[in-house]
Structures are given as structure tokens and as C-alpha cells.
Amino acid sequence: MRFRPWPKPEPYRDTSRKRAAFKRKQRLEREALPLFAEMIAERQHSVEEEMTRRHVWWERREQEQRAQRAARWRKARARLFALPDPLRRTIRNVWRSCPYPADPAYLLDLLHQIAVGRVDPHRSPWVFDGKLTARITPNPSSFGEAFRQIGHRKIGGGPKVTPAAQFLFCGNLGSGILFLRTRVRLNDPHESYYSSSSHRLRDSHVGRAGHWIDLEVRGDCSDAELELIRRLAQEAETRPVFVRRVAKLISGGREGDAQ
């Protein structure tokens, strides 16, 4: 069995700080009842007597704790050896590899968790034996099936102006995870989102004739997958959609187009 031996007991350490703390405690007791200060002082014992009492108490406390620990080990071993041989061997192997401290209290708790069915000794909860597989959508039929929205923020806007929307999507078509960002662009570069109410963009759907969708793709994808992204995005949008690869962030926090 895996166990941690009880450390060798150390004698009580008599220090000047402990003596000063005890003297302060007695002084506060006298100052709390000044009319009875002399009576209280007569009943108080000296520092030397207090240190002697603590030495005796410390040894008794160490003996009691060692006896309690030994009793818990005997109790845990009795429970363990009451189990069938195959299960006992399995639990012994689990106990050797578990992250719990080598203490009888933790062994008793492990045996209890196994007895009530919260821990399966054949499938330890701290051992991960599963195989991670990426979620891939190789042949999606729609943009929503291939990519999941993970972000959304507003661009522009004001007291009387509805801001444009920018969305962030992620997905995996088979070559690796891809991040897509869609932005609404204006056909006229001199135009502004801060326009009159009859020409402003409401929730990215008003004034579609004057806008187009800029779709940026980050990640490794083939030309065929890039064309698939463009087709799915265009089927989900009535405005023109332009798809382009975007490289990772470069120094200074700026972005560059992939070559």
C-alpha cells in the first residue's frame, strides 16, 4: 500500500515570542477588569509554569494524533481486505496512481466513493483515456451547417445611426479549424455609415443594393474549400460576397492579406 509515514515528533519550541504573547494575554486580562486586577494577578501563573504545561500538552497531543492516524489506517485496511480479491487488487492499483495525498482519511473516502458508486475503480476519473477528435463538416449543405457563430460586435453607429454588424464564425471543413469574419462594405468608398435614415444600414439588411460582404478566412484551406465557403456564403446572402484569405496578425497588431 502507498502510505506516508507520520513525521517524527518534535519537542515543543520555547521561544521569546511565545513568552511575550503569553505575558500580553495576562496583561489584557487584568486591564479588562481594572477593579479586580489584583485578584486576577493572584490567580495567574508564571511564564515558566506555562511553558512547562505546554511541553506536557504538546507530547500528549502528538501521541493522540499518531494513535488516531494509526486507527484510521487499520480501519481503511480492514475495509479494503473485506473486498473480493480482484476488486481489492484493482483498488490498490488505483490508490497507487491517484492524486490524493497518502493519508488514511483519503483512502477511506476513496473506498466510500467506490462503495456508493460515485467512482468506478476500472475507470478512474483522474485518468483520461478518450481520444480527441476534431469536429469536421466535410460536405456541408449550408453555411450554417459548416460554421458556427462565435462573435458579434457593432461598427460605427451614433445617437441617430444604426451601426453595422461584424460577425465571427469558426468551423472545420477537413484541413483544420478556420475562422471567418464578415464585414459589410460600402460600394461608394466616399459614403459613410453616418448617413440619413433612408440610406443607413439597419442590422446589416437595409440598403442592400449599396453594400457588399467582405468575408475574411484565417486558417489552412485549399482552393476548393475556399470556393465552397464562397458558394455557401453567397447562397445565404443576397448581397455580393467576396471571400479572401487573411494572414495571421503581424507585428504592431496589424493584419496582412495572405499571398
Whether 7 is in a domain gets the answer no
Same domain, 177 and 223: yes
Same domain, 54 and 153: no
Residue 174 · residue 225 · CB < 8 Å: yes
Whether 125 is in a domain gets the answer no
Which of these three, 115, 130, 158, is where a domain ends?
115
Whether 122 is in a domain gets the answer no
Q: Could you tell me which of 202, 215, 209 has the C-alpha nearest to residue 245? A: 215
Whether 132 is in a domain gets the answer no
Same domain, 241 and 180: yes
Same domain, 102 and 181: no
pLDDT band at 230 (very low <50, low <70, confident <90, very high): very high
**Tens of pLDDT, residues 42-52:** 999 999 999 99
pLDDT at position 198 is: 37
Give the number of domains in the chain: 2
Give one DSSP letter per residue of 114-179, joined into a string: HHTTSSBTTB-TT-----------SS-SSHHHH-EEEEEEEES-BTTBPPEEEEEEEEESSSSEEE
Cell readout for 51 is 511553558
Whether 190 is in a domain gets the answer yes
pLDDT band at 233 (very low <50, low <70, confident <90, very high): very high
Same domain, 81 and 157: no
pLDDT at position 197 is: 37
Residue 250 has pLDDT above 70, yes or no: no
Tell me the residue range of the domain where 205 lies.
Answer: 143-257
Which of these three, 65, 97, 115, is where a domain ends?
115
Whether 197 is in a domain gets the answer yes
For the segment 182-208, the average pLDDT, to the nearest whole number, is: 52
**Tens of pLDDT, residues 162-189:** 556 789 999 999 888 899 998 887 766 5
Same domain, 154 and 102: no
Whether 224 is in a domain gets the answer yes
Same domain, 23 and 107: yes
For the segment 52-72, the average pLDDT, to the nearest whole number, is: 91
Same domain, 172 and 77: no
Whether 76 is in a domain gets the answer yes
Residue 40 has pLDDT above 90, yes or no: yes
Same domain, 94 and 168: no
pTM above 0.85, yes or no: no
For the chain, percent helix, then strand, then coil, each to nearest 5?
Answer: 40, 20, 40
Same domain, 81 and 167: no
Same domain, 194 and 109: no
